Structure 1
Amino acid sequence: MEDSSYVPARFVTEAGPDALHRMQKSIESSRGPASFFTQADALLRKNLMFQKRKSCTNICTILFPVLICLLVGSLQSWVNIQLVKYGPKCECSCVETDGNGTCKTDSCSQNMMPDQLSPCPVPSPPKWPPLLQVPKPKYRATRDDIIPFTDLPDKSCKRTKSCPATILVTGGNQSFAKSLTDNFFMKNSSLNFSEYLGTFLSNFILGTDSRPMQTQFTEVAFLPFGSLYVVQPMCAPNSTHLVPFQVAGSPLEKVVECVQGLPLWRNNSSVINDELFKGYEKGNAEKTTNEILAAYDFLNSDEKILNVNIWYNSTYKTLNTIGEEPTMLRVPRSINVASSAYLQFLRGGANMQFEYVKEMPKLGMRIMIDLSSLTGALFYVWVMELLFPIILTYLVYEKQWKLRIMMKMHGLGNGPYWTISYAYFLLLSSVYTLCFVMLGSITDLKIFQLNDYSIQFVFYFVYINLQIALAFVVAIFFSDVKTASVIAYIYVFGSGLLGEYLFRYFIEDTSFSGGWILVMEMIPAFSLYRGIYEFSSYALQASHVVTSGMQWRDLDDRQNGMKDVLVIMIVEWLLLLPVACYLDQVVSLGDGVGKSTLFFLPCYWKKPSRSFCKPILQQQKSEVLVDLEKPDLYQERQVVEQLLQEPSTSHAIICDNLKKVYPGRDGNPEKLAVRGLSLALPRGGCFGMLGPNGAGKTSLINMMIGFIKPTSGTAYVHGMDIQTDMEKIYTGLGVCPQHDLLWETLTGREHLLFYGRLKNLKGAALSQAVEESLKSVNLFHGGIGDKPAGTYSGGMKRRLSIAISLIGDPKVVYMDEPGSGLDPASRKILWDAVKRAKQDRAIILTTHSMEEAEALCDRMGIFVDGSLQCIGSAKELKARFGGSYVLTITTSSSEEEEIERLVLQLSPRANKIYHLSGTQKFELPRQDVRIADVFQVVKEAKKKFPVFAWGLADTTLEYVFIKVAKGAQAFNELS
């Protein structure tokens, strides 16, 4: 489809370049400002080219999680191979055979040690006698200062290891409870239980002081290092026996020791609680001094009902998971003791048989260490957060090098900038995260494989959006890339370490307030940590138990914090985006002038007209003293005041009492950079600002382009106020700043294409404008325009900046020292380009070159100490401040007095301004001297003595500049 601005080549050939020029102007004047989508398209194209040149960096960024996953996956595979190679082997043995010697029943647990049980299948778990958890002899309850009950045994029994195992009893009916406790154990202590025990295990109350395991596939008490007791009402001397057993289908012999069970009455359950607490108050089973076997509260039990509460010992830790509560407790036998005693009370000699306890069958499984889950959340938090410094430094980079404000000054709105930048970062983050999850799944990382992918997608998608919004907010407060980068990496690594070594303990501590956890999760890094922590926990659990990881139904679990994290992140994301947009408009930190804090209120939407502002401006003018000795400045001010009264004007720029004061710092006084400037510039002209360094020229330009805010006064560009309508002014503005603001990796052509699109140039018109711009600044031939700007010399960069400022036919152009750093040939090219450009637009140009100002500027003003000292054309200024000739004569030193006498004859008001080794310069008033008289005097002098050289020159602009500047500085010093 052809662009509407396309110009047929045949018409161009027939009509000639003048017709083409007129048609271009017609097209450019009718195209209007660029729309949102045009600006977004321009920025997108520029970013794509910029990122294409950074393809290596982007690929490395995306491949980083890939390499991490490959590294962890490779390590995981190596660990699994080693576990298979050197891990425990499952040894099965035959339990029962038929008459032909064929195995009828086998078990894969008979010859296994506890470390083999986890991976091996157990189709028929062994049967183990139920045991009581008996306190070790040195920890059994005795009388002491802590528990002063007189019915407890004396502590001397600990030396002989003969202390009984105490059982505390209470209830509503003491006599009934006493009857039950008498039936707890077998009363015939003279029975030879060493023979009876191995056959009828259920008739004896067995116990052990060995620590319990997590499962009952193996009973530690029957292993060689385990202990075994039989609890009796009384124990005879020498009551330790080696007893043969038939346990779990295998015969074995085990040393069994008799321990006395000592039931003691307590008045109520509170007394028992207090006694138990004091006995276990040190909180460690290895250090407690008064452990009891069990405690029973029979409550309202009687002959018709058995209602009992039982205390049992759960302080021992498991062998395999030190530091965790045991998953298996020796409680069944304690219950059986009470129920069997009650049955005996009712039925006499009847006994409730309790033969064995048995674990559920289980399948075998491979021993695998899930490194992805064991490494914890810290590793993955760091990988995901590493995108934050990348996004932040990119945003701050554009601010530090003024590229953002440069794009803004050429018409790029905030909406397109935010949309395209956000979309790019979202795409980069999405590809980064997708590679991370996909490669993690391919490399067998369980944290990705076992958890529902849809939950992972939602979580990571919400987080990367929150991270981008956070980067936009944080970038507003930085103007230096290095500082932003350091702070970002401190945030990444600091928050990860705090999450792992502080926040994690708060999550796992059930006594810690859930409300405070929610408050901490409002920090995005902690939200990320909590989500990955939940993924890791579910994956680790699923890898040990045959089940799936986190599913959507698990979000309803109150112990699962993923639902709260998702809600918090979504709310923060939706809040941070408008906050970032607001702060971007209000905060000014190296990125232009910020708006009022209440700019969004309706009363700020209606911009005041020039007539509405006039009373205020009149009050400001009363503060300005007009020097009546400078009629040019007074006349300029009158013109400005008259133009402000008119509803419309053809003048492109009107500065009305513009003033800028920089506040004092470090004890220095405030700096008055611009002192109430009033200036009117029509279209079709170039105005030159001349002045020494520090005069305020750049401050004036910065106010006019919206980079800094005026202290008072204002200026109008085509009727639009720079304090309220700067975004509209930008659509027709061209700027060549003092320093070249370019992307090092983009070519000159790509720069011009980008800024041309921002000026709403399209199709053939855009291509032609770019070609003409490159030719006008001599960057077309030799393919210079297609080389990266980073390879350009200083002069070439300067010429490109000038071409950028002129592309798109801007109606107002500001050039801040455009000719600095240019060689004479390049300067001539620049002058020609500016002369062509100023025909139908207003140009303000600052320069230190008087030659450049005289060649380009229709009018000029000399700026000293923040104020205009004079204004007019070069001819007018030379006539006003010059008015004299400069005569230079070089003779021998002995003839200097004669030369001075001859010059005074020409004009008694002649002033010697220079004298060195026979060379003298004299200033001669123009009205006193005729050029013919000067020639005559020199002719006479040559007749009398040698004249080595002489010359007569008119006043130069440089002389005017020096004279005005010195006079103004002297006046300011006196005042």
Structure 2
Amino acid sequence: MEPSLRGTASFSTQANALLRKNLTFQKRNLKTNVGIVAFPVMLCVILVVLQGVIDHELDKPEYRCGCTCPSGGGACVCGPQHSTLDQVGTCAIPRPPRWPALLRPEPLARPRKFLDILLNNLVWALSGWCSTSQLFFFFFFFWLKYLNNNFSFLLFFSMLTGIAGRLFTPIPSSSPNFSDFLNILANVIPGTDTIPQFTEYIEPAFVSDRPLYLIQPQCLPSFNLSVSVDIDNFPIQLDVECVQGLSLWRNSSSAINGDLYKGYRQGNTARETNEFLTAYDFLDTSENGFNVNIWYNSTYKNDTGYVSIALLRVPRSLNAASSAFLKLFKGDGLAMQLEYVKEMPKPATKSRFDFSSLLGALFFTWIIELLFPVILTYLVYEKQQKLKLMMKMHGLKDGPYWMISYAYFFCLSALYMICFVIFGSIVGLKFFKLNDYGIQVVFYFIYINLQIALAFLAATFFSSVKTATVLGYIYVFGSGLLGEFLLRFFVEDTSFPRGWIIVIELVPGFSLWRGLYEFAQYAFMGNNMGTSGMRWKDLSDPINGMKNVMIVMTVEWVVLLPLAYYLDQASSLGGGMRKDPLFFLRYFQKKRSLSWRRPSLASQGSKVAVDMEKPDVAQEREVVEQLLAESGRTSHAIVCNNLKKVYPGRDGNPDKLAVRGLALALPQGQCFGMLGPNGAGKTSFINMMIGLITPSSGTAYVQGLDIRTSMDEIYTSMGVCPQHDLLWETLTGREHLLFYGRLKNLKGGALMQAVEESLKSVNLFHGGVGDKQVGKYSGGMKRRLSVAISLIGDPKVVYMDEPSTGLDPASRNNLWNVVKRAKRDRAIILTTHSMEEAEVLCDRLGIFVDGSFQCLGNPTELKARYGGSYVFTMTTSSDEEAEVESLVRRLSPSANKIYHISGTQKFELSKQEVRIADVFRAVESAKSKLKIYAWGLADTTLEDVFIKVAKEAQSFNVLS
């Protein structure tokens, strides 16, 4: 099929080609991919094993309800009488007892000794009415703004003092009968300093060794009471102590806050602690209405549910205030009793400890983020090995590359997470089973997309796989550790500004940790409390940070992916030709027709350099200027117009001028060879032509397209055989050619035929060589494959950089035949150090020295122009060397001896001074006088021309 009829490969065709190549590549790396996906499965197995060990330990008799095990060893004894408070969570309580409603616990869990000190200071407390040192005392305040005159003040003060006087009801006698303890404790104010947050269904005050307090208006010095009560047929011995309650007056909310929180958990005496029980704000309370706010210290939190311990005791405080209000206006005979509280029945359960939820935030952060170095390494590998650039130079556009690469990484990440969640749920990890799967799917979907975008962005800053891998794993483990041991404290500290937490979560690793932390907390709570984990309605909870995390990750995903694409295109970090920073604006403009550009004034740049050029080089420049001045297209495939490349000097060194205003016109069907010593600038010229680097000035046109602005279009009709083979080690030669053939829009039978012919042409067809992985190829076989790739799809312009390097003579001759056939309908630029290869393949040659052409022409012309002499060689005995030299001088007086060693001498004979017939006659005559071992007469070779031109150019540059 003709290229003109075949057209350029469409987006879908290129996407299909890349997808097929990637699937084949990943199939060859199946073990690695299975290992990646199996890693979370292995982790789940480890967590299940650890969970089993923990459950086995918790199932031992010492943790069962009603079992006691001796500390020194021995058999455990089980029975209801051996139950302890620590076993409440596992005991069955079919008929929970009725417990009195008590005041909130004393948060410090103060020892008995300290309570004795408190009681000894009660006399001092009575004498200091407005002192703020009374523990467990109520105090009141009112707002002056509610009082309009002195009369209302007197009435309100009288009401408050009346209520205060009725808060603490004295016990009926000094030795009350506690047989009906619920009725007794409903008519007084009982209190306890036990902490109920870790117990269920049982009031710790009635099963522990701590005393029960009675808050009285006046405590007798000799008050000491120990009573026995019967609760559900279980006798309990209680020590009852008296604490005197005083009411204090405050007139502002700031004073209330100061007294409630000042000195909290500080000091060793009652005077230093400044801890109060409760404060009441009666607002607009009057005899016609009761309106009260209760103030209490809620500093202590229950970590399993953010529930204040103090809140568990608030009902009793509210009952005390309400009952005092009724007694004031309805008489002391009226009482509002809060007789008892009772939990719901409870079945027997096992002690539960969810190991996966406890460690989930840290370990699962590491597990999920382990995909980041994998993706980053793959992207940087393609960049480091120039595989991405190789694909682009053969026509692959950015759209298909980004879409297919992104889709592949997304599928790999999705499969990874699906296996993780499904297997974790199957083996029973509460982290996955208790939390809503819908929230998990949304969260993981957003994060894996963000992680892929982050990998694309990070890949633009790396050129080494090793560096990218090391820094990738540092990021993974660093973000997990910092999240667990730094961000956790910020999240759990309610005083830390929430806005700063969102700023910290802008780091994707921290946002992942925060989301997993929320999952872990809800799963841990749900497992302990026998409820579900996180649900959609929980996202509205202000303490739940999951909604903010998902919003932050979504915004970052939307921002980072376009930013990564922009940096890849508009900066040198992407590894290819850097586009204009505003390149994206051209997509909003109408496409303009591509045409030849007339030379600008800049093309006349270096007049001095132009005037000093050799005639053939100057003639080439005139041809270029004439072509650019003509309108429309011509038969020339490549036109270079004053192409220049300057590398900026570093460390005080001057700028390096690699290419000095090169001009070249190459028609279709011609092979142009570039000869030159190392460092002459050949590679810089080729790199500009294939889009690796940007010209400093000037430009070149390929098929009428400017290399500065239209490289994407040029790539569709270009083939490249780089100096170093850029191949996938796990793909076969056939798979390489299929991929690059599809990029050139070959399809179906035409594609298969082209691949077969390419393999045959480079001797990779027979013996199944074409179906072997490239990693098993020799260096010569890889070289032949690179040449076949450059010619697949009939590109109109081909660049070959030393194509026969490393080939044996037979393979080299075969390769030359391939290039000869290929140059018939395309333009080829070939660089080589083999003069024989240059003579065989090239229609024209250019010797390139110090950044510019020194001569241009076909091999015969160059040898005729720069090789105007014969080389005469004769070998005799050492004694006869003088006679040989005399013979040569008679033939050519200006002969130049160029070689001499042990009887062998070489001379340059001017063609203008000698004829070949004269040389033969002179040698035949000398054979009768001299003992001649060997002799020869040769014309100048291309190698001689190259050496001569290079030396002259380098000598001139040194002198100038």
TM-score (norm 2): 0.89
Asked if residue 434 in structure 1 is aligned to residue 405 in structure 2, the reply is no
The amino acid of 1:686's aligned partner reads C
Q: Distance in 1 between matches of 2:120 and 2:420?
A: 62
Contact 1:194/1:241 (8 A) holds in 2: no
d(CA) in 2 for partners of 1:595 and 1:649? 28
8 Å contact kept, 1:541–1:549: yes
Q: What does 1:407-806 align with in structure 2 at a 5 Å threshold?
A: 407-589=391-573, 591-602=575-586, 612-620=597-605, 622=607, 624-627=609-612, 630-646=614-630, 647-806=632-791
Q: In the aligned structure 2, how far is the partner of 1:650 from the partner of 1:300?
A: 100
How far 1:529 moved relative to its partner? 2.3
The answer on 1:892 being equivalent to 2:877 is yes
Shift of residue 728 of structure 1?
1.6
Retained in 2: the 8 A contact 1:661–1:671? yes
Aligned to 2:118: 140
Whether 1:273 and 2:266 are equivalent positions in the alignment is no
What is the Cα deviation at residue 572 of structure 1?
A: 2.8
Which of 791, 808, 813 matches 1:823?
A: 808
User: Which amino acid in 2 is paired with 1:921?
Assistant: K
- Distance in 1 of aligned mates of 2:17 and 2:181: 91
Residue aligning to 2:72:
none
What SS class does the counterpart of residue 658 from structure 1 fall into? strand
Q: Deviations over 1:65-112 (max 9, x none)?
A: 1111222123223433433344633459xxxxxxxxxxxxxxx99974
1:192 and 2:192 correspond: no
Distance 1:121 1:539 in 2: 24
The code of the aligned residue for 1:407 comes to M
- CA shift for structure 1 position 400: 0.7
- 1:358 is paired with a residue of what secondary structure? coil
Say which SS state the counterpart of residue 451 (structure 1) adopts: coil
Which of 840, 843, 851 does residue 858 from structure 1 map onto?
843
1:159 aligned partner: none
**In structure 1, distance between residues paired with 2:180 and 2:33:** 76
Measured in 1, the distance between the counterparts of 2:580 and 2:880 equals 72
Aligned 8 A contact 1:388 1:468 in 2:
yes
5 Å matches for 1:102-501? 112-132=83-103, 136-137=114-115, 140=118, 150-151=128-129, 166-168=137-139, 173-185=156-168, 191-193=174-176, 201-202=184-185, 203-214=187-198, 217-259=201-243, 261-263=244-246, 265-266=248-249, 268=251, 273=256, 276-277=259-260, 280-282=263-265, 289-292=273-276, 312=296, 325-326=308-309, 329-345=312-328, 346-348=330-332, 351-501=335-485
Report the Cα distance in structure 2 between the residues aligned to 1:639 and 1:383, rounded to whole angstroms: 64
Counterpart of 1:923 in structure 2 is 908
Cα 1:298–1:46 shift into 2, 3 Å? closer
1:18 alignment partner in structure 2: none
Q: What CA deviation, in whole Å up to 9, does each residue of 1:283-310 have, x standing for no partner?
A: 5899953444555566676766666555
Q: Distance in 2 between matches of 1:849 and 1:715?
A: 27
In the alignment, the residues of structure 1 paired with residue 844 and residue 443 of structure 2 have an alpha-carbon distance, to the nearest angstrom, of: 64
Worse-matched range after superposition: 890-899 or 830-839: 890-899
The 8 Å contact of residues 182 and 340 in structure 2, kept in 1 or not, is answered as no
Q: Tell me whether 125-134 or 867-876 shows the greater mean CA deviation.
A: 125-134
Contact 1:859/1:874, CA 8 A, preserved across alignment: yes
Q: Deviations over 1:392-419 (max 9, x none)?
A: 1111111111111111111111111112
Distance 1:183 1:417, change over 3 A: closer
Asked whether the equivalents of residues 109 and 125 of structure 1 are also in contact (C-alpha less than 8 Å), the reply is: no
Contact 2:598 2:629 in 1 (8 A): no
User: Deviations along 1:524-574, whole A, 9 cap, x unmatched?
Assistant: 223322322222222222223343322333333333333333333333323
Give the aligned residue type for 1:127.
Answer: R
| 212-221 or 584-593, larger mean C-alpha shift | 212-221
Q: Distance in 2 between matches of 1:41 and 1:315?
A: 63
Q: How does 1:812-851 map to 2 (within 5 A)?
A: 812-851=797-836
How many residues end up aligned between the 2 structures?
Answer: 924
Q: 1:241-264: per-residue Cα shift (whole Å, max 9, x none)? A: 3322234543333333344x1525
- Percent identity between the aligned chains? 59
> Of 47, 63, 79, which aligns to 1:88?
63
Give how far 1:672 is off: 1.2
Query: Relative to structure 1, is the Cα distance of residues 338 and 631 closer, same or farther in structure 2, using a 3 angstrom cutoff?
Result: closer
- The letter for the 1-side match of 2:434 is L
Aligned-residue Cα RMSD (Å) equals: 3.3
Compared CA separation, residues 689 and 86, structure 1 to 2 (3 A): farther
CA offset at residue 587 of structure 1?
2.0
1:79 aligns with 2:57: no
Change (3 A) 1:766 1:362: same
Secondary structure at the residue paired with 2:838? helix
Alpha-carbon distance between aligned partners in 2 of 1:297 and 1:600, rounded to the nearest angstrom? 66
Distance 2:269 2:826 in 1: 93
One-letter code aligned to 2:605 = Q
Structure 1 residues 182, 685: CA separation in 2 closer, same or farther (over 3 Å shift)? closer
* Partner in structure 1 of residue 857 of structure 2: 872
Q: What SS does the corresponding residue of 2:246 show, helix, strand or coil? A: strand
Which residue identity lines up with residue 83 of structure 1 in the other structure?
A: L
- Deviations 1:6-46 (Å, cap 9, x if unpaired)? xxxxxxxxxxxxxxxxxxxx544521222222211211111
2-structure distance, mates of 1:741, 1:47 = 16
Distance 1:463 1:918 in 2: 82
Aligned mates of 1:332, 1:509 — CA distance in 2: 28
The letter of the residue matching 1:374 is: L
Structure 2 letter corresponding to 1:280: G
**How many angstroms apart in 2 are the aligned matches of 1:290 and 1:516?**
33
Q: Larger deviation: 898-907 or 687-696?
A: 898-907
Structure 2 distance, partners of 1:610, 1:308, is 87
Name structure 1 gaps, 5 residues minimum.
Answer: 1-25, 93-107, 156-162
Change beyond 3 A, Cα 1:137–1:636: same
Residue by residue, what CA displacement relative to the aligned partner does 1:734-771 show, whole Å, maximum 9, x if unpaired? Answer: 11111111111111111111111112222222222212
Cα distance change on mapping 1:118 and 1:354 into 2, 3 Å? same
DSSP-derived class of the 2:677 partner: coil
Q: CA deviation at 1:378?
A: 1.9
How does the TM-score come out when normalised to structure 1?
Answer: 0.88
Q: CA deviation at 1:352?
A: 4.8
* Contact 1:610/1:644 (<8 A) preserved: no
Distance 1:649 1:165 in 2: 103
Unaligned 5+ residue runs, structure 2?
68-78, 143-152
3-state SS of the aligned residue for 1:952? strand
Tell me if the contact between 1:128 and 1:248 (Cα under 8 Å) persists in the aligned partners: no
Contact 2:260 2:275 in 1 (8 A): no
Query: Structure 2 vs 1, CA of residues 678 and 607 (structure 1 numbering), >3 Å: closer, same or farther?
Result: farther
Give the Cα–Cα distance (whole angstroms) in 2 for the partners of residues 458 and 481 of structure 1.
32
- Structure 2 CA distance for aligned equivalents of residues 270 and 48 of structure 1: 70
CA displacement 1:138-193 (0-9 Å, x = unmatched): 6639989x9998448999xxxxxxx9965545666555545555545566897334
- Identify if the C-alpha distance between structure 1 residues 657 and 142 changes in structure 2 by more than 3 Å, giving closer, same or farther: farther
1:47 is aligned to: 22
Q: Does 1:946 align with 2:931?
A: yes
